[in-house]
Amino acid sequence: MSQLSKILELDDLKSTQPAYLESIFSLANGHVGVRASNPINPSEDAGTIVNGFYEKSNIHYGEKAYGYAEKNQTIVKLPDIRRINIYDEDKNRFDRSQLKDMHLDMAQGILFSTYELSNSQNESIRLKLTSVTGQKRNQFIGLHYEIVGESYVGNIKIEKNFGLDTTIQDSDDPRKSRNINTLQYDVLNLKDLKSLRVTTDNSKLFVEMGLSVNKDIGMLKTLRNGSVKFDVVAVVGNINQHISSTDLPNFESIKNESTNFWTQFWNQSEIKINGDDSLDQAIHFNLYQLESSAGRDGKTNISAKGLSGVGYEGHYFWDTEMYMAPFFTFTNPDVAVNLIKYRYSILPEAKERARTLGVNDGALFAWRTINGKEASAYYPASTAQYHINADIAYAIYRYFKITKDKQLIRDCGLEIVLETAKFWSNFGSFSEINGKQQFCFFDVTGPDEYSAIVNNNYYTNRMAKFNLDFSIELIKRFPETAKQLGVNSDDLKKFTRIRDAIYLPFDEKKGINEQDDSYFRKPVWPFATTPKENYPLLLHYHPLTLYRYQVNKQADTLFADFLFDDISKKQLMKEYNYYEKITTHDSSLSRSIFSALAARLGLKDKAYSYFLDTAKTDLIDLQGNTKDGLHIANLGGSWVTIVEGFGGIQVKNNMLYIQNNLPKKWNGMTIRIKYNGSLLNIEYAQNNIHVEMLSGSPINMVINGIKSTIK
Amino acid sequence: MSQLSKILELDDLKSTQPAYLESIFSLANGHVGVRASNPINPSEDAGTIVNGFYEKSNIHYGEKAYGYAEKNQTIVKLPDIRRINIYDEDKNRFDRSQLKDMHLDMAQGILFSTYELSNSQNESIRLKLTSVTGQKRNQFIGLHYEIVGESYVGNIKIEKNFGLDTTIQDSDDPRKSRNINTLQYDVLNLKDLKSLRVTTDNSKLFVEMGLSVNKDIGMLKTLRNGSVKFDVVAVVGNINQHISSTDLPNFESIKNESTNFWTQFWNQSEIKINGDDSLDQAIHFNLYQLESSAGRDGKTNISAKGLSGVGYEGHYFWDTEMYMAPFFTFTNPDVAVNLIKYRYSILPEAKERARTLGVNDGALFAWRTINGKEASAYYPASTAQYHINADIAYAIYRYFKITKDKQLIRDCGLEIVLETAKFWSNFGSFSEINGKQQFCFFDVTGPDEYSAIVNNNYYTNRMAKFNLDFSIELIKRFPETAKQLGVNSDDLKKFTRIRDAIYLPFDEKKGINEQDDSYFRKPVWPFATTPKENYPLLLHYHPLTLYRYQVNKQADTLFADFLFDDISKKQLMKEYNYYEKITTHDSSLSRSIFSALAARLGLKDKAYSYFLDTAKTDLIDLQGNTKDGLHIANLGGSWVTIVEGFGGIQVKNNMLYIQNNLPKKWNGMTIRIKYNGSLLNIEYAQNNIHVEMLSGSPINMVINGIKSTIK
């Protein structure tokens, strides 16, 4: 496969704004993220991020009420480990810098950057920095510095330690992060390591950092037609675990580990697009950063910005289950398992949250969180999005259907599905609608955040129905586990009765599912008279203004259609056409679903056009805030579009379906997925699909409507 | 009439907690309020309040969005002018104090308080303080101090100035107020006055205060079997107007002014209950404090706590129009006019607010405000209560129907009614319901704050219908004024079409009006399993929990029934029975309406029982927070219950109705009201109504269903 499309260079990018480059070229391994800072003049956003290392602070409300989230959880930005000071013979710092080159080798996970530095005499030297993160021993980061004399001829002196003067700026923008003033920095006395313990006053966590620096780099080095090279190995410890200075790997071994890891990664996850090298590269970038972001220890998850920035405070959202998990489940199920295990680790907090919300049995997962407690200060677009419960159940369902792994169900899957199902059955209530007793959910918010506090949101109700249905299936298939969890026949009866009675709003006249109980009564947003500069609408209209119109921020009812594929093609086409007209795609989570659905509907041009708008979201800085971190859910969404949209991959009734929905502009496409333990290489051409089994047992599948067995 | 029932004494009260007494015995005149502090050891709540003198600060949101209220407006607590220091010969302060007596003469507006003071030698003196506020020249407050020797025999020294060491405590309770650290205190050099200017850093307002103190009170006074007496006149200036030391009235003239004022007040507003002296006294207290609270200058209004405390930050709410204005309109229309003029003064801000809420024509009044801008940080129970617009229009309607005063309509009434009508017509939209095009209002909150963000709240829609109807009436009756305001025939057509089409939710099966579009679909709150200590519910349940049940904090649909009396008695009885069962009365605004409606329905025992629960709200400290200030709306509500409930006073189709709904327990009741300029004395006995005209022209009315003319 092409390795060139796995190189990302400055030329490929929209901007060279330092903070933007820091996000784009950030390196990570699920545990630690290193923003690609200029080591001489880092931006104020530069720094190191440890997955799940957060500080708490009080949330301040203009008016507070019972059950509101109490504490902010804010990911900590740690000192920037790329930073270095270089001095000339006269002790003047080379304090001006110009980026000359930056490129990321995604085949090996190595970042190369080159800067021209100059001192106050305008004498220049060149600094090359090669960085790589340990992918197995994930506490280690390898840095290789090379300094070459240019117009400057003389000695240099090098200073390498933790710069502790960077701060995060306070901001009103909820997509950013807040300032933290409650960190303690303590210097540690570790052999061969310059080291530091960073402790949070309120969340009572700590992380230790170390820099293994050649002892003599602080000495004057001669730079006369020559160069100075040295390695630094940085250690960034796991939360609450002490680091030790023994058995440090060297730069080369970290690099080799990285190369091996990414080689295997691409072997399992490769996507190749024939006919558009730029898109080919973009999708590689997306998958590379997606993988880098995911916590792999069962205690951490994927934050909205991954480990590339501190935007959204490092919180985990439903993004994981609905936008990122599909990729991992189909290519790297071990990560998918750990993402589910993280949710299991916060099940006690979810049970407590359900009580706070007045529901006496079952669990309600926090809308945004790190430690399991709700951290969102605006409940209409957070706590009211009860659907996160079913989203998590859906991720378990997806995992189970694709991998057939029963162990996860026994270990924790059934328990999560059961607790969420219990929540729905106690949270909702029966009500007479159209002459029938139907089960309803009141005052909820669906995925579309331009509507809130509605009754019977279609997506929510459909997902709750699924959640109950899946719990019934698992209880029947895993009777022993169910028994251990205290499930009895009354529970099963109750779940069944409720599942069958859940109300799904449908508009007879329009012949389509209705977003909520009374959505179509509202007027349609006046799109014709809305100036272009008023998008995204949320920045220009009061929530009450948005809520009283039919206007969608993102796929809502259509998302349910996409997940369940349970309505006729004719109805789906009608629903698609209706909701598309009222959707602004002001959320980065929207277009990928519209694209995948369009592909499924055979609307090839539309599918392709949405895909183009979303595949390069960060590379072209579509939303103007990539500097705060990458839009990780969108990276996952682009995989969903390619594989589940263009590639027509679906698992239905325990059968793998492949449908060729290749965009007209492409010559072909190759994807790799794992199904039931077998690794498949699927090549799409305009009139052909070729499926090859790379490893594993034979699989029955349906390709373009025809049953086949691939051996 | 009995003057004894116009004396309120310590014995009449539930508690002698100092801050509670400060509220109960507070003195005010619509401009300045003086809490009845212990002058030796004032509580931390002691102080002086000037109507409308507020400071701004930023509202902090956990998550902020477009159009949110930007600034807190917080009433300022000014230095306590009752304070005094008294020293013995050895310069030791008499720093211990015991309240011996406090009584308020509501017939004259004079507060008497007596304290026993002692020094560290346990020698005691007695301090009597008489206070009175100027009711005409409302910047002046008269204080008369009398000190009598008891076990202490010797000289005393007196120190009288502004104590500047009291502060307000910060609190999360939205019913309290917040701390202000942005006040500047400057000493002024005014002749014969110890004076001070208090300036707010952010709202850029100032108030000046002066103390006219006998020059020689600082000297040593002999207290040997004798007493020392002296007067202090305090000046508390109007906002942004300088005070001057010339033409100071003396204590006696302030006292005479007060006596004259209250004599006239009682002459117009008297209510006498025969058969329950304690209730008779309570209602006097209510009316006394209500009158004291009301701004009379057209620039200020009545804050939720009046001038008796800084609770609710001194904000003006819909309480004014719906709970307090009825009293003023029927007894003291000059005050009612000024309350309306205040609303007119903030019409520009209301227009701006409508734009922020995405409505291009018309005005939306702020839910809570002093300066006209929205100051509420929780929009679901504030901005979404759009009904305040119609509440204000209703106050104008009530005023016009009772006084027949056309000038107010020409001056500002029509303009307010027009701008609010325009708001409704642009805010709502047509939608097909039950096969008809009906005009709807989406995502609104009615008076019941245990439901929020609902569609077609009955009260809101009914009030909007009224607002449009009244605008049509006024446009037709005042064509010249309407023309000046730019009204054309298209407007009239539009208003008429919308008025006739406004959707009013009605449940066919139950045969009653439905609180909103889908209210009866929700389950009824589990009252049977709710522990008593979980009331008020808002302190023990998340808003989302409250919202998803049928449970009312206060009268909502029933309030509309009360105002419009437009449904059959049979339906009203059904509605009353239904909503009563689901109402917690967790709001102090609830019981008065339930009581008045019950009286109208002939449910005499019920009416009386609700009245008993509410008439003494503050005197018995029903809600436990009277120390933060009196519940002024509730004071007004008790008048509504008596006059409009028990007294059966209504104005319908331009006719005054009187109906005898006297509680069984009372021998009789006398009320005074003004109608069309005539002052009426109405005496109710169990089987009789006697109406006497005290002044004015003959009036046709319907008494107990029989048409009469009173001359």
- Do B542 and A60 count as a contact with CB atoms less than 8 A apart? no
Average pLDDT over residues A447-472: 98
Strands A688-695 and A678-685: antiparallel
Q: What is the pLDDT of residues B524-566, one digit of tens each?
A: 999 999 999 999 999 999 999 999 999 999 999 999 999 999 9
| Class of residue B701 by CB neighbours under 10 A (exposed 0-12, middle 13-18, buried 19+) | buried
- Restricting to A residues 492-521, those with a Cβ less than 8 Å away from any Cβ of B are 517-518, 521
Residue A76 has pLDDT above 60, yes or no: yes
Percent pLDDT > 70 in chain B is 96
Q: What is the pLDDT of residue B419?
A: 98
Given a cut of 80, whether residue B245 has pLDDT beyond it is: no
Model confidence pLDDT, tens digit, residues A581-634 = 999 999 989 999 999 999 999 999 999 999 998 899 999 998 889 999 999 999
Per-position DSSP letters for A609-655, written without gaps between them: HHHHHHHTTTTTTTTS-GGG---HHHHHHHHIIIIIIIT--EEETTE
The nearest alpha carbon in chain B to A430 belongs to: B523
> How many angstroms separate the CA atoms of B617 and B633, rounded?
11
Nearest residue on chain A to B386, alpha-carbon basis: A544
Looking at the DSSP bridge assignments, the partners of residue B125 are: B117, B149
Helices (H), B414-457: 414-427
DSSP H/E element including B668: strand B668-675
What is the distance between the terminal CA atoms of chain A, rounded to a whole angstrom? 23
Contact A661, A264 (CB under 8 A): no
pLDDT single digits (tens) B638-670: 999 999 999 999 999 999 999 999 999 999 999
The secondary structure of B567-621 as a DSSP string is S-HHHHHHHHHHHHHTB---STTSHHHHHHHHHHTT-HHHHHHHHHHHHTTTTTT
Residue B222 has pLDDT above 90, yes or no: no
Active site residues of A: 449
| Separation CA A511–CA A438 (nearest Å) | 20
**Ramachandran assignment for B240, one of left (phi > 0), alpha (psi -120 to 50 degrees), beta (any other):** left
Most confidently predicted of A83-92, A186-195, B436-445: B436-445
pLDDT at A169: 39
Q: How far apart are CA A519 and CA A323, in angstroms?
A: 26
Cα separation of the two ends of chain B: 23
Q: DSSP strand E in A89-225: where?
A: 96-105, 110-118, 124-133, 140-149, 154-159, 183-190, 193-200, 206-213, 220-223
**3-state class of B123 per DSSP?**
coil
Which one is predicted more confidently, B591 or B190? B591
The distance of Cα A618 from the centroid of its chain, to the nearest Å, equals 13
| Cα separation, A203 vs B622, whole angstroms | 41
pLDDT in tens, A214-241: 767 777 777 766 789 999 999 999 999 8
Provide the token pair at B84.
Answer: 């005094």
Q: CA of A19, closest CA in chain B: separation in Å?
A: 24
Q: pLDDT at residue B234 above 90?
A: yes
Q: What is the mean pLDDT of chain B?
A: 94
**What would the pLDDT profile of B484-510 be if each residue is shown by its tens digit?**
999 999 999 999 999 999 999 999 999
pLDDT at B586 over 60: yes
> Is B67 in contact with A545 (Cβ distance < 8 A)?
yes
The yes-or-no verdict on residue B324 having pLDDT over 70 is yes
| Over residues B261-281, mean pLDDT | 95
Write out residues 595-654 of B within 8 Å (CB-CB) of A.
Answer: none
Higher pLDDT, B89 or B395: B395
pLDDT at residue A458 in the model:
98
How far is Cα A379 from Cα A464, in angstroms, rounded to an integer?
Answer: 20
Average pLDDT over residues A326-347: 98
Region label for A476, one of left (φ > 0), alpha (ψ between -120 and 50) or beta (otherwise):
alpha
- Contact B232/B145 with Cβ under 8 angstroms? yes
| Alpha-carbon distance values, B45 to B20, B37, B82, B113 (Å) | 9, 8, 13, 18
Q: Are B330 and B402 in contact (CB under 8 A)?
A: yes
Is residue B670 a contact partner of residue B270, using CB atoms and an 8 Å limit? Answer: yes
B321 catalytic residue (yes or no): no
Of A172, A517, A548, the CB nearest to B64: A172
Q: What is the mean pLDDT of residues B15-42?
A: 96
| Least confident range of A27-31, A389-393, B155-159 | B155-159
Question: Can you give the length of chain B in residues?
Answer: 711
Residue B181 pLDDT greater than 80, yes or no: yes
> How confident is the model at residue B166, as a pLDDT?
41
pLDDT for the residue numbered B214: 76
Backbone angles phi, psi at A177, to 5 degrees: -125, 175
Nearest-Cα residue of chain A relative to residue B379: A544
> For position B96, what pLDDT does the model report?
96
* Residue carrying the six token digits 């990458």: A630
Sheet containing strand A668-675, strands side by side: A271-274, A668-675, A678-685, A688-695
Chain B residue with Cα closest to A549: B442
State the average pLDDT over residues A50-58: 97
> With 70 as the cut, is the pLDDT of residue B287 above it?
yes
Residue A499: other Cβ atoms inside 10 A? 21
pLDDT surpassing 70 at residue A450 = yes
Contact indicator for A627, A23 with CB cutoff of 8 Å = yes
Measured distance CA(A304)–CA(A63) in Å, rounded: 28
B-chain CB neighbours of A176 within 8 Å are none
Nearest CA distance, B357 vs chain A (angstrom): 6
Q: What does the pLDDT look like over A125-174, one tens digit per residue?
A: 999 999 999 999 999 999 999 999 999 988 999 999 887 654 433 444 55
Q: Catalytic one among B116, B257, B415, B449?
A: B449
| Residue B496 pLDDT | 98
Local structure of residue A380 (DSSP, 8 states): G
Please list the residues that pair with A250 across neighbouring strands.
none
Average pLDDT over residues B327-349: 98
**Which of B56, B60, B63 is most worth mutating to test chain A (most A CB atoms within 10 A of its CB)?**
B63
Residue B44 and residue B141 in contact, taking contact as beta carbons nearer than 8 Å? no
How far apart (Å, rounded) are the C-alpha atoms in residues A155 and A123? Answer: 12
The mean pLDDT value of chain A amounts to 94
The stretch B571-585 carries a mean pLDDT of: 98
Q: Which of A256, A162, A254, A169 lies closest to A210, judged by CA?
A: A162
pLDDT at B200 over 60: yes
pLDDT confidence tier of residue A680, bands split at 50, 70 and 90: very high
| Whole-angstrom distance, CA of residue A412 vs CA of residue A396 | 10
Measure in Å the smallest separation between the Cα of B593 and chain A Cα atoms. 26
Contact B431 A523 (CB under 8 A): yes
Amino acid at A282: A
> What CA–CA distance (Å, rounded) separates B609 from B591?
9
Average pLDDT of the segment spanning A69-98 = 95
Q: Residue A462's Cα: distance from chain center in Å?
A: 24
Q: Give me the pLDDT at residue B353, please.
A: 98
Quote the CA–CA distance of A109 and A255 in Å, as a whole number: 8
Q: Best interface-test mutation with A: which of B548, B549, B550, B553 has the largest number of A CBs within 10 A?
A: B548
pLDDT band at A178 (very low <50, low <70, confident <90, very high): low
Task: Supply A693's token pair.
Answer: 């089994």
Q: Is A564 on the interface with B (CB under 8 A)?
A: no
Q: Is the pLDDT of residue B298 over 90?
A: yes
Identify whether the C-beta of residue B369 lies closer than 8 Å to the C-beta of residue B388: no
Over residues B326-351, mean pLDDT:
98
Does residue A679 carry a pLDDT above 50?
yes
Give the amino acid at A186. D
- pLDDT tops 90 at residue B180: no
Extract the tokens encoding A670: 């190759």
pLDDT of residue A614: 87
Query: Which pTM does this prediction carry?
Result: 0.94
What is the band of B254 on the pLDDT scale with cuts at 50, 70, 90? very high
pLDDT-wise least confident of A640-644, B169-173, B453-457: B169-173
**Residue B177 contacts residue B168 (beta carbons within 8 Å):** yes
Least confident among A157-166, A599-608, B114-123, B296-305? A157-166
